[in-house]
């Protein structure tokens, strides 16, 4: 189960969602917000219900393309996940999803939120809160999406302003902490790019291509940092 804030966040892990779906894994994508405030000049769709409906269709297109289950949409408003009432209700909804689906592995944003987006940070925080409370023998791992500093530093020059913004603002993690290094095939990357193409309201094709150039800098791997829970009892904080 991959749990993100917006209906395009999954692009960073889309190659492995496609990979595992192809291998017969039951894959779910949960999206916390409705995308109703994600207005872009090229799409010319006003904020509100009309945009939310477009984003929902795009999310369904994405999951169909990747070969995973239809998206689970929680329909919070963009930028409002940190509101007091929403914090508690999102906790309840994530708890209910874990109870219903009992996912073996959960993927979400780490503390960095990918590129610092407040909604990303809030989703990752609440997913972590619920996971550490409800983890079981079946629900055994929580993974945070990671980006290598070295991969960004060696990426080719990008031509679009939006892609360059992402390159400059992606938060990175030292490689030694990214101990889950999941390989995928070229076809999985291509399918991920095809799925990202569903998000027409948010990106033009040139930006999509360049963002996948950044993703491909990990050389056929998607990196994750595992949640640092441990069954080993320690009596010294320096151990």
Structural domains in the chain, CATH included, are: 2-226 (3.40.50.10320)
Q: What is the pLDDT of residue 21?
A: 98
SS3 label, residue 179: coil
Q: What is the pLDDT of residue 228?
A: 80
Q: What is the pLDDT of residue 230?
A: 66
What pLDDT digit, counting tens, does each position of 93-121 carry?
999 999 999 999 999 999 999 999 999 99
- Length reported for the chain: 239
Q: What is the pLDDT of residue 232?
A: 79
SS3 label, residue 76: strand
State how far the Cα of 83 lies from the Cα of 201, in Å rounded to an integer: 26
CA dihedral 45, 50, 56, 61 (to 10 degrees): -50
Q: What is the pLDDT of residue 237?
A: 67
Q: How many CA atoms does the CB half-sphere of 27 hold within 13 Å?
A: 24
Q: Do 142 and 127 form a contact (C-beta atoms < 8 A)? A: yes
Q: How far is CA 53 from CA 15, 42, 113, 116, 125, in A?
A: 25, 17, 25, 26, 27
Q: What is the pLDDT of residue 152?
A: 86
Low-confidence spans in the chain with pLDDT less than 70:
230, 233, 235, 237-238
Q: What is the pLDDT of residue 34?
A: 97
State how far the Cα of 22 lies from the Cα of 146, in Å rounded to an integer: 23
* Residue whose token pair is 């994508």: 29
pTM of the model: 0.96
* Residue whose token pair is 């996940």: 81
CA dihedral 117, 167, 184, 9 (to 10 degrees): 20
């Amino acid at each position: 189960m991959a749990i993100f804030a917006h209906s395009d966040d999954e692009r960073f892990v889309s190659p492995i969602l496609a990979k595992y779906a192809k291998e017969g894994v039951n894959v779910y994508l949960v999206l916390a917000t409705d995308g109703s405030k994600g207005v872009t000049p090229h799409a010319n769709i006003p904020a509100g219900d009309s945009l939310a409906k477009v984003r929902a269709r795009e999310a369904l297109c994405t999951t169909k393309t990747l070969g995973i289950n239809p998206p689970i949409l929680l329909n919070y408003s963009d930028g409002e996940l940190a509101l007091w009432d929403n914090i508690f209700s999102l906790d309840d909804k994530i708890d209910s999803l874990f109870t219903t689906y009992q996912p073996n592995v959960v993927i979400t944003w780490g503390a960095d939120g990918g590129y610092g987006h407040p909604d990303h940070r809030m989703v990752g925080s609440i997913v972590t809160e619920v996971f550490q409370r409800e983890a079981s023998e079946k629900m055994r791992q929580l993974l945070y999406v990671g980006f290598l500093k070295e991969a960004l530093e060696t990426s080719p020059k990008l031509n679009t302003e939006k892609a360059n913004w992402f390159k400059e603002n992606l938060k990175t993690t030292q490689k030694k902490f990214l101990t889950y290094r999941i390989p995928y095939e070229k076809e999985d990357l291509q399918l991920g790019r095809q799925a990202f193409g569903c998000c027409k309201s948010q990106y033009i094709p040139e930006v999509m291509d360049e963002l996948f150039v950044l993703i491909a800098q990990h050389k056929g791997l998607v990196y994750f940092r595992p949640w640092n829970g441990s069954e080993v009892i320690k009596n010294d904080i320096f151990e």
